[in-house]
Structure formats: structure tokens, C-alpha cells
Amino acid sequence: MASSETTQELDQTVPVFDRKASIANTTARSIIAENFSHTEDDGILEEGSVDPRYRAKATILNAAMQDMGFGAYQKFLFCVCGFGWFIDNLWPQVTALILTSTEREFKFKPTSLLALSQNIGLLVGAGVWGLASDIVGRRWAFNLTLLFVGVFGVLAGSAQNFHSLAIYASLYSFGVGGSLPVDSAIFLEFISGSAQWTLTLLSVWWAAGQIVASLIAWPLIGNFSCPDEDNCTRANNMGWRYFIFSMGGLSLILFVIRFFVFNMYESPKYLMGKARDKDAVDVVHKVAKYNKFESNLSLEHLEAIDQQYGSINDTTAEAPEYTTASAAIKRNLEKFKGEHIRALFRTRQLAYSTSLIILLWGLIGLAFPLYNAFLPYLLATRGAEHGDASLSTTYRNYVIIGICGVPGSILATGAVELPRLGRKGAMSVATILTGVFLFLSTTAKSSNALLGWNCGYSITSNAMYGILYAYTPEVFPTSSRGTGNALAACANRIFGIMAPVIAGYADLKTAVPVYVSGGLFVLAGLIMLALPYEPRGKASM
């Protein structure tokens, strides 16, 4: 049975490798034709980008998932994976929403320090959880990220000073940072190629994160905050604490649903890539049973690929036995020699794609928080300029902006399946329009006009993120998908750390940060057109 560790050795025997790759692919097509009523289109990645033996087996698994359809298990998974999108937007909003109240009470300068603490946690979380999901599996990372968020989110409400608040913000952000790199990989690996558009629809949960945060912050922070900086104590400024306690408690409830209510199986493709074909087949049958469907997939189908492929290396080793979580972690860490990163640059086209994706996530990682993290502040200050500076009005506007993100997700979900747009075209248009709306917002002469432009920005930015979050895992091979997601997320967070630093030295009362953010969005939108892969109508590998 082939494992992902043999890939480099296989590449060194090119003539035999190519001949037996052809045999393996032919065998896979024959197995699919004889056993499954639905077939998958060609994979997204070009020949040579992944181990052909792995590719042939992945094609069979794709056909089994396509045969099964989008059943009850996938629908439940849509919800519990949606929790990852939900907290990914909710907790950065939390940090932004408590900024004014905590700055008044703790009197820290510059105000961007809290966002900086958050982004450091997001950066570390993205790297650790994403890489861990490729080394020790998806399940543990899937559940533990939410637990981290909930526990340290609740503790953040007990902060006695800015230093403790900043530490807690880094720790709950450590969990948040790993949620999407892991969750997007898991969801993609349990659905068929024809259902991959639902990965874009998951961004509805992302919009819900801002809506829920805003709706709960509105009465709590709006009614239980100190009036000004000169008269601000813990006793008269409990609103932000009530708010963050609520968000931490909500995150723990989501963890309980994931861990105790939903039975999360390990990804079949992940198992197959670890030479655990039997376990992969077992998972497919468990999911099929949950969906009240009888799958034709058998272990013999995957073993036939090994038999036809031939033995270039010893492929008879037994699948590893994992008696404890610590043993699994130790064994996998011993095997890790950077192959998960090298696999993302295996061919020139794949390397070009991976590099562009990392660049795009970096640009957007600077553009988005440079504006969005300080949006409540901007709404409040612009409201003051036009005679309406109440916290209630600020949060009301914030709720409206969050609601506008929902149609953005729905529009994006439809656009990615349009033949002339596809993933790349729809993502590019949404990103460029996001920058345009930011430029237009600088023309606002009233708080209502600013709100209107921000509603447009919310629609297009949510569409942009929805497609980007879906496109990224689609164009990475399963064996390194978590690592690829982690690299993209790390670039996003590294540049995100720069945003509060820039804002700390910039004058937020001017339009300069808005112009910089808008320009970065337009640049990213143009670069998206140069991406080499178009996943529409193709199955991920």
C-alpha cells in the first residue's frame, strides 16, 4: 500500500513512473465505470502534481462520494464546519467592538495594540493547526480549535488590565486562526466535485458571525459602558465584559455540538494518503450508512491500483497503529521532513499557483483589517462629525453592515458556477469592487452615506472572502491541503499584524488608511486573473 512518504522516491524513477501511472489511471477509470453510476470530471491539478497512485485512488474515492451525493452527513457537516467560518469573523469583530470601551478603561496607547495581540495569536494558530491537520489528522484540530476559543474567550472577560486582556486575546485568537485552514479541508474532503460550490456557500456563516456579534454588543456595550475616558471604571464599564463572556460561552456551546453531538470521522482521502486504505473505505461506508445509502466501494478497488501500479518501493507495510493520541503525534512528527511543503511546489504550475495564493492572502490580510478592524471607530467618529455619535447608532449601523454580507455570500455561490466567470472571474470582480466601494466611501458627506457605501463594501467583501476561502483548498492536493491552507493563512496574518502597526502611526481621522486598503483590494483582484487553475466543474485531488 503506497504512503505519502514514498512520493519523492517514486519521482526518481520517471520512465517506469510514467508508464505505471498510466496503468493506474486506466485501472481507476475501469473500476469507476464498473462500480459507480456517477463519474468525476478530471481533477483540478495537472498530471505530475501528485503521486499518480494517489491520484488514481483519489479519483475512485471522488466517484464514491459523487455516487453518495450530498446527504444528511454532509448537511450536518455543513453546519459544524460553518462554526469555523462563524468564529473566524465573530472574534475579530469582538476585538474591534470592545476597542473603545477597553481603551477608555485601561487607557492603553496606541489603540492598535489590542488588534496587534489578536493578529499574533491568529498567525501562530494558522501555522500550528493547519500543519498539524496534515501530520496527525483533521479530527483533533477540528475539535480543539473551538475549545481553545471558548475557554480563553470566557477568561478574557475577567481581565484586570490591558496586559492580561492582550494575552487572552492572543490565546483565543490562536484557536480562531486554525479554524478555517482545518475546517475548509475537512468539508472539501467529504463532498463530491459537483457539490464543491457549497464550500462558497459556507461564507453565509462568516456573515452570521458579524451579525451575531453586533446584535449582542448593541444592548450590552451600548447600555453598560462608561460615558467617557475621564469617568471610566470597572463598575460602570461592564458592558464589554458581559459581551465577551457571552461570546466565549457561545463558542463553548458550539464546541459541545461538534464534539458530543456530531460524530466526526477522519477524512477518507487523508487516511488513504497515510496508507490506511481500509480505514478510508470504512469511513466512506459509515458516511453512506448515515445517509441511508449503500456504497459499492470496497478495499479491493483501492488495492487493485497497487497491484496494477506495480512495486517500485516496498508497499506491503502495515498501516500504522495509533494506540494513543500522543503516540500518533510522536510517530507522525518523526516522519515530517518538510514533504508537505515541498508537495505544494512539485510542478512549475503548482508552484506558481501556490506562490500567487500566498501573495493574495498577504495583500488581503493587510487590506481587510486595515479598514475593518477599525470600522466601529470610523463609524463612531464620522457620526460625531455629523451630530450622531451615540454607541447605539454605531452598533445599529454595524448590524446593518453585517446583514448586507448575507446576499454577498449567496451571489458568490451562484457566480462561481457561471461558465464565463467561474471561481477566478467571480473572485476577481468581487475583490476589485470591494476596493472601489472603499474609494467611494471617502466621498460620504453624512453618516448615512458612509453607511450606504459600507453596505456595498460588505456585500462584495463577503463574496470575495467566500470564494477565496473555497478556491484555496480546492487547488491544493489533499496530502498537503492543511499545510497549504496554513501557509496562506500565515501570510494573511503576518500582513494582518502590519495593519494595526500602520494604523497606529496613521491618522484614522483622514482617508489615508481607506485609500491604502482600497488600492490593495484592487491590486489583489487583478492578480487573481493570473491564477493558473479554474476549479469549476472539476474535482479536488
The band of 13, judged by pLDDT with boundaries at 50, 70 and 90, is very low
| Distance of alpha carbon 129 from alpha carbon 343, whole angstroms | 18
Q: Tell me the mean pLDDT in the region 445-460.
A: 87
Asked whether residue 311 carries a pLDDT value surpassing 70, the answer given is no
Which CA distances in Å does 303 have to 54, 56, 297, 500? 12, 11, 12, 53
Q: What string of DSSP letters covers 115-157?
A: HHHHHHHHHHHHHHHHHHHHHT-HHHHHHHHHHHHHHHHHHHT
> All 3 cell numbers of residue 57?
485512488
pTM: 0.84
| Distance of alpha carbon 378 from alpha carbon 511, whole angstroms | 10
Q: Is residue 112 part of a domain?
A: yes
Q: Is residue 169 part of a domain?
A: yes
| Distance of alpha carbon 98 from alpha carbon 467, whole angstroms | 29
Residue 364's nearest CA partner among 506, 468, 520, 473 is 520
| Distance of alpha carbon 399 from alpha carbon 114, whole angstroms | 22
Q: Tell me the mean pLDDT in the region 371-377.
A: 61
* Dihedral (CA of 288, 289, 292, 295) sign: positive
Q: Is residue 50 part of a domain?
A: no
Asked whether residue 519 carries a pLDDT value surpassing 60, the answer given is yes
| Distance of alpha carbon 63 from alpha carbon 265, whole angstroms | 19
Q: What number of helices (H) and strands (E) belong to the chain?
A: 24, 0
> How confident is the model at residue 77, as a pLDDT?
96
Give the residue numbers spanning the domain of 489: 72-264+345-528
C-beta of residue 254 within 8 angstroms of C-beta of residue 84:
no
| Distance of alpha carbon 512 from alpha carbon 225, whole angstroms | 30
| Distance of alpha carbon 210 from alpha carbon 376, whole angstroms | 12
The band of 183, judged by pLDDT with boundaries at 50, 70 and 90, is very high
Other Cβ atoms less than 10 A from the Cβ of 534: the count is 16
By three-state DSSP, how is residue 540 classified?
Answer: coil
**What angle, 0 to 180 degrees and rounded to 10, lies between the N-to-C axes of helices 162-188 and 447-474?**
50
C-beta of residue 22 within 8 angstroms of C-beta of residue 37:
no
Q: Is residue 485 part of a domain?
A: yes
The band of 319, judged by pLDDT with boundaries at 50, 70 and 90, is very low
Residue 18's nearest CA partner among 273, 274, 312, 272 is 312
> All 3 cell numbers of residue 12?
526518481
Q: Tell me the mean pLDDT in the region 312-329.
A: 40
Q: Tell me the mean pLDDT in the region 234-259.
A: 95
Q: Is residue 157 part of a domain?
A: yes
> All 3 cell numbers of residue 92?
475579530
Q: Cβ neighbours of residue 219 under 8 Å, at least 6 residues apart?
A: none
Residue 413: CA count within 13 A, CB half-sphere: 17
C-beta of residue 503 within 8 angstroms of C-beta of residue 112:
yes
Q: What are 400-443's pLDDT values in tens digits?
A: 988 999 999 999 999 999 988 999 999 999 999 999 999 998 88
Q: Is residue 59 part of a domain?
A: no
- Residue 237 has φ and ψ, to the nearest 5°, of -135, 45
> How confident is the model at residue 111, as a pLDDT?
75
* Dihedral (CA of 290, 294, 300, 303) sign: negative
> How confident is the model at residue 507, as a pLDDT?
59
Q: Is residue 423 part of a domain?
A: yes
| Distance of alpha carbon 289 from alpha carbon 415, whole angstroms | 33
C-beta of residue 165 within 8 angstroms of C-beta of residue 156:
yes
Domain count, the chain: 1
CA 483-329-315 angle, 5° bins = 80
Q: Is residue 503 part of a domain?
A: yes
Residue 231's nearest CA partner among 109, 113, 107, 111 is 107
Other Cβ atoms less than 10 A from the Cβ of 507: the count is 9
Asked whether residue 327 carries a pLDDT value surpassing 70, the answer given is no
CATH number of the domain residue 390 falls in = 1.20.1250.20
Residue 138's nearest CA partner among 290, 264, 293, 37 is 264
